[in-house]
Structures are given as structure tokens and as C-alpha cells.
Amino acid sequence: MSVIESFTALPLGGPSLPQERRLVTDLPGPRSREILDRKAAAVASGVGHTVPIAAVAAGGGVVVDADGNSLIDLGSGIAVTTAGNANPRVVAAVTEQLARFTHTCFMIAPYESYVAVAEALNDLTPGDHEKRTALFNSGAEAVENAVKIARKYTKRHAIVAFDHAYHGRTNLTMALTAKNMPYKHGFGPFAGEIYRAPMSYPFRDGLTGPEAAKKAILHIEKQVGADNVAAVIIEPIQGEGGFIVPADGFLNALADWCRENGVVFIADEVQTGFARTGRWFASEHFGIVPDLVVTAKGIADGLPLSGVTGRAAMMDATHTGGLGGTYGGNPLACVAALAAIESYVEDGLLERATEIGDILTSRLRALAATDARIGDVRGFGAMIAAEFVDPETGEPDGALTARVAKDCIANGVIVLTCGTHGNIIRFLPPLTIPNHLLNEGLDVVEGALARD
């Protein structure tokens, strides 16, 4: 059977898929199990998976598997398909581009869609200063390039990252990432000149933003020295680390300190960017204007694309040929990004993220009011988390969190966990999810919590 023939029996994805939770087998069903058995035999065991299915189609607010099970998607493939899987605008743009050319390498023969994405990023990222953009493939690759750019511009070496940070799995980004298991364990030695500062974590540290910033700045000044610091890199709302929203004033004080000390302030908006939090970028919620903004995930609705956008003087400090890569800004990914941006605007998806946030927050807060195991509900827009704790001690309860998430998945709702202690369930639905599915998904979470 040819590749195409093997696809013809499968449903098409996109918003026209029936928007329902439908379990016709236990998970995994027989066809998915067969594929997962092949995975176990063929794919390196280091590449894990959370949901025991083989996906064949997705769209709106569902993921359909090889056995015909339809699961509610509250994860968007880790905050990627923000404009919905197989979004019709993205499908049309990529299909059209596919029939024209798939690759010339932008560093060899440039093309317009890359330039248009750079223009869009220069326009959409916070601040009206003159900006430039460079495109890459993954979040980690873009983070690495932001660090290269900051070092080249400042002629300094030290990079400051934060407790609970996640910036990727390459050697440099592992060094920037805080959590050992599963991201770093046994993979060292790591890149040097990386320093870690304390993060503002209002639920845990009880500090105001200015107090937490003072602590972090003192730490940097005493342990690294301001003059040695090329860049401070921070997720405005931490993703993998636990959807930690810093206290008001923390990011602002940090950004001010960077400006006063000639330090490049890098916002890693890989998870928070592109309408996810109800704004184009989470930095806007805090009124900060980063020097460099790193983007990926929601930028191209599932095609691999990432970017670094920032002040022209910093971005242009690198010699020609110093930035790039074979596939960076691939034409299929670039037209996907342009179509996704069109969808965010034309389909009202920023407003939709805020509506989704209201539903998630009000329902989770109501649940927390009657269940002391939910210690905190936080986030913005379609990026909301519930932190699970031992009600007696307030200690993180990772075991409960894992049980609840597993129960939700077995009942046809894809939820993801996160947090240094694995005690957070994060909600990242596609913005195309209908309300009835969002509510049904939350009913399932509620049921799982009642059982566990």
C-alpha cells in the first residue's frame, strides 16, 4: 500500500470533525495498541508519550485516534495548535505553497513569506522601536540564537535564568532549564556561564513583585556581577515549570535593572506567545517591553517554526552569516504562520482566549472552593493551571496530580501536567474548542478528582 492509500480510509481533520467526546474502546484500542507496540520496537524509549493512542485526525477541540475514539483536547500538543489543528486557513496556505516550492534555503535564495513573517513579528511584539527578526525551527534553537545575539551585542558571557525555568533540551537550553528529571539527568556536562536566580512565585514565596525582584537582583549582583551579564532570560509566565505567574512588578523591576546595567532582557514567549494568554504576547499583561522576544509553538499552528525578534541594534550586531540554518524559516512553515496570524485576527481568537480563560478560571476556582487539594488556580486566557497540594501541609502533591491526569485521559480528555514537583495540571485548549467540549472536559476533571 502506498503512503497515500494508507491515508484514504482515515477521517480528515479540522473544525468539521464531530465535536464530541466518544470512546468506542478502552485506551489504547486494538489498532492504536498495534502502532504503539511498533513504536516500542522502533522508536528510542527516551521518546515517551502521555496519551496511549495513535492519532489520525484532529481539529476544533478533539483528537481522533486509529480506533475511532474522539478525545477532548485540553493540551494543543503543548500549546502549539492554538488556532486549531488543521485550521482551514493554514491547510489552504500550506497546500498552495507545497505545490510551488518546499525549500530553497532562505540563506541561498530568499523568498517573500519569510520576510512577511519577520515584518509581522516586528509589528506584533511589544514596543514600537525599530526591530529585526531571524527565523529558526524550534523553540530551543531560537533560545540558543537569542543567547548568541545577546553575547555578541554585549561582548559579555554570563546568562541568568530562573528557578523553575524551561527553555529546551539542547545542550545550552538544558543548562538554562531548571528541572533535572526528565530533562537533564545524565546528559551533562552542560554549557557554562549560566547562572540561576530565584523566581517570583507568589503562591509559594509570599513576596511582592518588588521584593522578589530585589532578592533576584541582589543574587545576580553578588554571585555574577552586573557587568558580566549578557542577558537575563525569563518566561513571563513559566510554562513547564508550573504556569507560575510572577507577582506584579517583578518583571518590570527586572527589566528596569537590565536597562540600567546594559543587560539584554530576553522574554521566552515560546509557550505564552501568539494569543495563548488573550494577548499577542504575555509580556503585555505586565507592561514590559523585552529587548528580545523568542517565539515558537503557536506561531505556525503546528508547523516547525520559531523566531527571535528584537531591537535592531542588537539583532544587527551579528556579522552576516552568523545566524541561520538549513531549514530556518522554511517556506511551508512561513505561510502557515501567515495564515495562523490571519486566523488569530479574523477569527477573533485573542478574544476567544479570554473567554476560555474565564470559563476555566471560574470553574476551577469553584472546584477549589470545595476541594482543599487545589491550592491555587492561576494563569491568563487559555493558559490556566491548577496546583495540587496536600491540604494539611501545603506540600506539592505530584502523586494525586498524576492519578487525576491519568484518569482524565482514560476517560477521553487530554490534560497535561507540569511543575518542578509535577503537581500542576495545565489547561491549554486550542482556541477553536467549543464551550460544550471545554465544559465537558472540566466535568471529567471534576469526576476524576472526586474518584482519586
- Which residue ranges make up the site for ligand PMP (CB under 6 A)? 78, 138-140, 143, 166-168, 235, 239-240, 268, 270-271, 296
Composition of the chain by helix, strand, coil, percent to 5: 40, 15, 45
* Minimal distance, residue 138 CB to ligand PMP, in Å: 4
* Minimal distance, residue 237 CB to ligand PMP, in Å: 9
Of residues 166 and 257, the one with the C-beta less far from ligand PMP: 166
* Minimal distance, residue 79 CB to ligand PMP, in Å: 7
Please give the Cα distance from 384 to 428 (Å, whole number).
Answer: 7
Pick from 68, 70, 50: nearest CA to 60: 70
Give how far Cα 60 sits from Cα of 28, 89, 426, Å: 22, 13, 19
Buried b (16+ CB within 10 A) or exposed e, 190-227: ebebbbbbbbbbbbbeebebebbbebbbeebeeebebe
Of residues 28 and 430, the one with the C-beta less far from ligand PMP: 430
Pick from 306, 386, 331, 417: nearest CA to 80: 306
C-beta atoms surrounding 167 within 10 Å: 33
* Minimal distance, residue 139 CB to ligand PMP, in Å: 2
Of residues 117 and 367, the one with the C-beta less far from ligand PMP: 117
Q: Residues 218, 220, 223, 224: is their CA dihedral positive or negative? A: negative
Of residues 425 and 448, the one with the C-beta less far from ligand PMP: 425
Cβ-in-10-Å burial (0-12, 13-18, 19+) of 173 comes to buried
Of residues 178 and 413, the one with the C-beta less far from ligand PMP: 178
Pick from 289, 204, 292: nearest CA to 252: 289
Please give the Cα distance from 87 to 81 (Å, whole number).
Answer: 9
* Minimal distance, residue 147 CB to ligand PMP, in Å: 12
* Minimal distance, residue 78 CB to ligand PMP, in Å: 6
Of residues 167 and 311, the one with the C-beta less far from ligand PMP: 167
| Alpha-helical regions (H) of 280-330 | 283-286, 312-315
Nine-digit cell string for 186: 545524565
* Minimal distance, residue 167 CB to ligand PMP, in Å: 5
Of residues 80 and 360, the one with the C-beta less far from ligand PMP: 80
C-beta atoms surrounding 157 within 10 Å: 13
Of residues 57 and 244, the one with the C-beta less far from ligand PMP: 244
Of residues 168 and 307, the one with the C-beta less far from ligand PMP: 168
* Minimal distance, residue 86 CB to ligand PMP, in Å: 20
Sheet holding 70-73, edge to edge: 55-59, 62-65, 70-73, 413-414
Residue 301 phi, psi (nearest 5): 55, 30
Please give the Cα distance from 294 to 144 (Å, whole number).
Answer: 10
* Minimal distance, residue 435 CB to ligand PMP, in Å: 27
In the complex, residue closest to ligand PMP by CB: 139
